[in-house]
Structure 1
């Protein structure tokens, strides 16, 4: 092969041939049709029995409580103790909406742990709000229910008998009782009574499908966990507090009810938190009112006793002019005393109740202290909320406790600093009082004492009235608690189911039907280490020439060609014979006898089969042909001739000097022009026999008598016999057998050809199935 031819051949091999690739898979078109059909049938069955799921959607806005003017937290805004509790981060609110506690409460209040199913039909149909019977639980033991679930004893069937009685069937029809509607039924884990659904009661007598209902009672926690996995809560926009809630369920109405109940539970919990702060504030106010009332009674009693003792009447009129100049001082002293009293009270309250909520809006003017109190209350509320579903050892609870302790210390420090500053102001006012005292030194001692008592009375009265006012404001705030989540869109359900999507399921089934045979075909091809067709052999070796291929023989077909009978086998050997003749004519002089050797890598690849049928084909063309059994170790040629004497043949000729070669040639009943020389007895020294010069003389004698000499030789990868014999060959047919010869052997054959160990080596692919053939064996060759 020239360089130009080799380069052109390489380009042709490397260029993808779409038609070749398509033909490779079209051979298995029935696989694709069957797999696609089965996949589509399975998809249709899946869509028929798979329950559709629907999505419910609700939208809420989390109210910012800082902007509310009538809330619990802003009731005392005039004193700026606590101007409002800031909303928790939106991530925390999303986490709360997705919490197990809220879902558990929703399941419990909606009684979703009790499910009703129709007993008719192949697929169970769940009743929701349209069950003819309703179970009302009076007592439910979760621990015993858990055991019943494990034993699969948490369900029973209600059979309708009449308007007054039903039959309850337990344990798969093993036990049953008759129960009157409305009477209590006691099971190990639950006590309940049965009611008729008013909306379905009139249909029970007319509709037999409603007369039997299966009831399943499940654990609330497990039902909540199942629903929680299908709940999604997320922000509509990153810059807003609008939250969209979605829930997927088999029943649209149930999904909507769950979302609405979740929003209700969320608001209810927020209202309870606000009420808790208001109640703690009311408790503090009532406590202080009791103390101030007692002190006020004591001051008024002292004032009365002072007047009686000193025989005073209208002391105000007498002292009016004297004390007019100090009225401003008194006002300041009253204000400072009030703030000091409130600060002291808050410090005492914080010492007695280290982890309780602090009262709000009590008249402290320091904004930093107000912020600390606000942060302290927020953390206490968050810890109390966590303690509902977690223990004291929970890391988040421990963290919040540490934060609360730190903030409490900061509040104490801030209040102490305020107390210290107020005492300084009070001392300054007292020093000013001393200066003013010299100005009124002439005022009778009774007047000074009386003014002191009256001043204390005014302070106590002002504080008492202030606390009464705040108690009323706190009561109004408690009564007017508003929900935290404002409902934007009440839960609604999408009309189309979200799953399963029939178009996608059918498309996936169709693609899987195509992919599975494609995968199997390619997997078989990748895992198969045997040659299958000529195209594959060409890819494995570009230097080896393929002379022809032979078809697979079915069990009911003859492995020997019958003269004048046209079959696929006979036509394939006609092609092979024509190619072989053309090849040897280019290497030998015209009219000379041709010697064709047939070998293979291993035994069982069709050497003898090819030798015999090639001999018949050449003989049918009028040539004189002899087939020699050249495999001295595993003779097979005698099997193609009845009553053949396999003991006499090539081996005996090479060992015996008394007979000539013609004495070893045998006629055959396969064709008149075809002769056999059998292998003979298996010798002990095959290589030594084949090296005898007598063998060369034998071929010279046979060439004078026969047009073609075909030698069935030993396999080359197991024995060296063929290499010894091959010097007499004009053409070497190297047999490859489809699905038998390993791909790696093609490379070995290529090395043999390059080293010229076998003369004029060409390949013949044997046992090729019709669908893998490159020679058009699919045509109908009739006899």
Structure 2
């Protein structure tokens, strides 16, 4: 049974909590309407943001491939490991402001075009009736115009002789003709018609253009650009950009890829160009040496009248063929090593080393490859930096160290070749002893022929490498292969559903928060429920609604207002409290008091008396507040009359002479408080007070005592002993909750007896059952807007 009761009570409390907010439903409706309207206006006037993206693959460079621009270096032994930089470096290059600057300059994106329709100006990119070209730009003046917001120009096409351009900020006008240059303050521009323009049916559109510094555009798009690796195990890269104009974002991404490929091709061609210069230089030297040797050979034969020395010495030279071959190879390597050493001595840190010359030894080839990689990195960074950049200094240090290592490796290789040459020389001595019978002429001839063959072999080798290098220059394959061209996936902001839902949520939260905060911070009694919870020991006989200033504060005969009905209900409830006293022959004394002043004691007393008088009862209102009398406010003529205090002091005064019939009702009389005495408490202890009340009991059905606030003075407690019923007035939104403990304690201590609450000045939204269920006896039916206004 207890469990069921507890569940029922909890359910009831939950309903009451919900009702606290539901009764303010107009607040919620207005708040939701305003927030949704605000969200709709925001969506209407805000610019949509789109996300455009493209996907590329960074191709790996194969240094051994014949089509590669660095294959010649690999064969020459100068390069090893000059392959694609780490993917993080390529991402960093794509995100760099230098690449973005080239892209912005290529597309002329520092010039922005706008179309204003009604109140909103939106950027347009493709469909614009004109194009602006900058012939000459003064950057200093441009920054000054931008700082003062004078870089926006409005186009007027109504000029028959050309176009009027108006500075939107300063109002300065310029007249230009299509195709002819004109000055707008900081730049010389040319205006051209856009033949691809699709005519818009709305003639009220206002077109304008804005010229910004390239650096500001780069900074704007740098924060919106994202370059990320799609997969850690691949070189697949996604480039995305957020912008309000999707076509513009797509063009930026595509152009960024083009600029990246251009730079990659330039880097590859730079290596091939340096190789070509080295090969051409060596070909000139070898060609000169080869001509000299062939001339010596020709002169030798002519002087000695030789024809076919080979046939004569073929038998002897068969054993020496292998020696010649090995010696030739070693000599070739020696020449290449010496050439490389000379090139290293004459070159600087910005020069690439020649590669693919055929040096033996993988160690030297790898070192030259790494050296050229460092030189390329240094030259790339130096384009946007100075020699004092810490990165440049670090690279210079690495290049010097690598150069020293290469020199040591070449010296080591040269020493190895010298050893090989000595071994071949020893072998040559053996062969020489076998052909000692060959005439000295043959030996001299073979020496000349040997020199010719060496020079000729080196010459042909360099010619082959020159052709391969020329082929690599002709092949300009892009480094970034496009997987997906730039496309727009859709709108990412503003998100309409989220914003509208957020507006709805905020619209509900705002009144909820206000009501909740108001309830939390409120320390005053608001309605009947709160009064019952705070003071369960004292019953409530009635609620009195709040009255507008325009309405009458006094009840009239046949009054059908909510105020009159609330006092009738209070009187009906009081009958149950006076059930044991209604059979007595004398009148009933009602004491009306409150905790502090301003809670409506006199108002309650007068209207309670009027209600009883309208019912045919003989009623008198006694002004028992001798300190701050308020009864005189309702009868101007009584302010100078004698009253209770005078009666208590002067025993010669007759009570009937002090009673005054009111103008409100023939059954209602007033006995005012009279003169303000210096000792009210002593007067109220006078025996004449009891005698006065006894006499009034004989003459009236109801005696209503309008007393002083009982918390402030002890006067009321002196009178309460004579009262049959004590009506304790509590004013809604005025009486503090903490003050309710005072009447509870007073009743418990016996200072007040037969106490009942009257809740005064209750807001219509909190007023009893009539408002909750939409029924109030005697009240005219109100319109929706009147009810709505009452809620506020």
Q: TM-score, normalised by structure 1?
A: 0.83
2:192 aligns to what?
195
The answer on whether the counterparts of 1:646 and 1:678 sit within 8 Å (CA) in structure 2 is no
CA shift, 1:42, in A, is: 4.6
Output one character per residue of 1:74-111: Cα deviation in whole Å (capped at 9) or x when no partner.
34555665366333333433333333333332222222
How do 1:425-574 residues align onto structure 2 when only pairs under 5 Å count?
426-427=418-419, 429-430=421-422, 433-434=425-426, 437=429, 440=432, 443=436, 458-493=453-488, 497-538=491-532, 545-574=539-568
- Between the aligned partners of 1:30 and 1:246, the Cα distance in structure 2 is 47
Q: 2:54 aligns with which of 38, 53, 58?
A: 58
Moved more, 583-592 or 354-363: 583-592
- Between the aligned partners of 2:290 and 2:583, the Cα distance in structure 1 is 146
- Between the aligned partners of 2:204 and 2:707, the Cα distance in structure 1 is 86
Q: 2:162 aligns with which of 162, 166, 170?
A: 166
Q: 1:8 to 1:608 in 2, by over 3 A?
A: farther
Q: Is 1:677–2:671 an aligned residue pair?
A: yes
- Between the aligned partners of 2:641 and 2:597, the Cα distance in structure 1 is 21
The answer on whether the counterparts of 2:319 and 2:431 sit within 8 Å (CA) in structure 1 is no
Q: 1:212 to 1:368 in 2, by over 3 A?
A: same
- Between the aligned partners of 1:641 and 1:8, the Cα distance in structure 2 is 57
2:398 aligns to what?
406
- Between the aligned partners of 1:748 and 1:467, the Cα distance in structure 2 is 116
CA shift, 1:481, in A, is: 1.8
Q: 1:733 to 1:235 in 2, by over 3 A?
A: farther
Q: 1:282 to 1:775 in 2, by over 3 A?
A: same
- Between the aligned partners of 2:315 and 2:528, the Cα distance in structure 1 is 133
Figure out how many residues of one structure are paired with residues of the other and give that number. 770
2:602 aligns to what?
608
CA shift, 1:139, in A, is: 2.1
1:578 aligns to what?
572
- Between the aligned partners of 1:9 and 1:750, the Cα distance in structure 2 is 28
The answer on whether the counterparts of 1:38 and 1:513 sit within 8 Å (CA) in structure 2 is yes
How do 1:737-776 residues align onto structure 2 when only pairs under 5 Å count?
737-746=731-740, 758-776=752-770
Q: 1:178 to 1:557 in 2, by over 3 A?
A: closer
2:264 aligns to what?
270
The answer on whether the counterparts of 2:613 and 2:667 sit within 8 Å (CA) in structure 1 is yes
Q: Is 1:134–2:131 an aligned residue pair?
A: yes
CA shift, 1:576, in A, is: 1.9
1:150 aligns to what?
147
Q: Equivalent residue of 2:131, what SS?
A: strand
2:783 aligns to what?
none
- Between the aligned partners of 1:581 and 1:460, the Cα distance in structure 2 is 139
- Between the aligned partners of 1:538 and 1:106, the Cα distance in structure 2 is 77
Unmatched 5+ stretches in structure 1: none
The answer on whether the counterparts of 1:355 and 1:404 sit within 8 Å (CA) in structure 2 is no
1:218 aligns to what?
212
- Between the aligned partners of 2:583 and 2:395, the Cα distance in structure 1 is 109
CA shift, 1:735, in A, is: 2.5
Q: 1:383 to 1:434 in 2, by over 3 A?
A: closer
Compute the RMSD of aligned alpha carbons: 4.4
Q: 2:629 aligns with which of 618, 625, 635?
A: 635
1:710 aligns to what?
704
- Between the aligned partners of 2:288 and 2:747, the Cα distance in structure 1 is 124
How do 1:81-92 residues align onto structure 2 when only pairs under 5 Å count?
81-82=78-79, 85-92=82-89
Q: 1:563 to 1:118 in 2, by over 3 A?
A: closer
1:258 aligns to what?
252
How do 1:699-738 residues align onto structure 2 when only pairs under 5 Å count?
708-723=702-717, 725-726=719-720, 728-729=722-723, 731-738=725-732
- Between the aligned partners of 1:8 and 1:683, the Cα distance in structure 2 is 60
Output one character per residue of 1:555-587: Cα deviation in whole Å (capped at 9) or x when no partner.
232212224423211211122223333235479
Q: Equivalent residue of 2:248, what SS?
A: helix
The answer on whether the counterparts of 1:375 and 1:407 sit within 8 Å (CA) in structure 2 is no
How do 1:639-658 residues align onto structure 2 when only pairs under 5 Å count?
639-645=633-639, 648-658=642-652
Q: 1:782 to 1:102 in 2, by over 3 A?
A: closer
Q: Equivalent residue of 2:133, what SS?
A: strand
Q: 1:435 to 1:119 in 2, by over 3 A?
A: closer
CA shift, 1:773, in A, is: 0.9
CA shift, 1:476, in A, is: 1.1
1:423 aligns to what?
415
Q: Equivalent residue of 1:274, what SS?
A: helix
- Between the aligned partners of 1:246 and 1:91, the Cα distance in structure 2 is 16
CA shift, 1:423, in A, is: 0.8
Q: Equivalent residue of 2:770, what SS?
A: coil
- Between the aligned partners of 2:550 and 2:360, the Cα distance in structure 1 is 111
Q: TM-score, normalised by structure 2?
A: 0.82
Q: 1:561 to 1:434 in 2, by over 3 A?
A: same
- Between the aligned partners of 2:465 and 2:263, the Cα distance in structure 1 is 25
Q: 1:222 to 1:753 in 2, by over 3 A?
A: farther
- Between the aligned partners of 1:292 and 1:197, the Cα distance in structure 2 is 61
Moved more, 30-39 or 697-706: 697-706
Q: 1:725 to 1:273 in 2, by over 3 A?
A: farther
- Between the aligned partners of 1:599 and 1:8, the Cα distance in structure 2 is 41
2:784 aligns to what?
none
The answer on whether the counterparts of 1:369 and 1:415 sit within 8 Å (CA) in structure 2 is no
